[in-house]
Amino acid sequence: MRHATEEERKRASPIVPLLVIITAMIGLEFGQEATQSYILQQVETLLGEQSTTAITEMIQRANQPSIGILAALVALATLLFGASGLFGQLQGALNSIWGWSRWS
C-alpha cells in the first residue's frame, strides 16, 4: 500500500472526524470492519484512491486502543464546533437576505 502525500492528507483531513464518528456509531450495529470497509469504498468513489489512502491512515491512527476514545471525543467536539459555526453563518446570511437586524 502506498503512503499518502502531505497534500492528500490536507485535502482529506476535514472529513476524518465525521468518518470516525460515523464508523463508530454504525460499527456498533454492523461491525467495525464491515462499516469501515463500506464507507471507505464510498469515499474512494467520490475522492479517488489517493485521498482514500490518506483517510485510511488517519482513521487507523484514530482507532488505536490507547487514543481511540480520545480521538472520538475530539472528533465530536470538532464536528459540533464546525456545525455551530456553519449555522451561525447561515443565520447571518438569511438575516441579510431578509433584511432583518439581529437586535430588533
Question: What is the predicted pLDDT for the residue at 1?
Answer: 47
* Local confidence pLDDT in tens for the 104 residues of the chain: 455 566 655 666 677 777 888 888 888 888 888 888 998 898 888 878 887 888 888 888 776 766 667 777 887 888 888 888 888 888 888 888 888 876 65
What region, left, alpha or beta, does residue 99 occupy, with left being phi > 0 and alpha being psi -120 to 50 degrees?
left
Question: What is the predicted pLDDT for the residue at 51?
Answer: 79
C-alpha separations of 7 from 18, 64, 73, 86, 90 in Å: 20, 24, 26, 25, 29
> What pTM did the predictor assign?
0.52
User: Distance between CA atoms of 7 and 19, rounded to whole angstroms?
Assistant: 19
Per-residue model confidence as pLDDT tens digits over 32-61: 888 889 988 988 888 788 878 888 888 887
Number of helical H runs and strand E runs in the chain:
5, 0
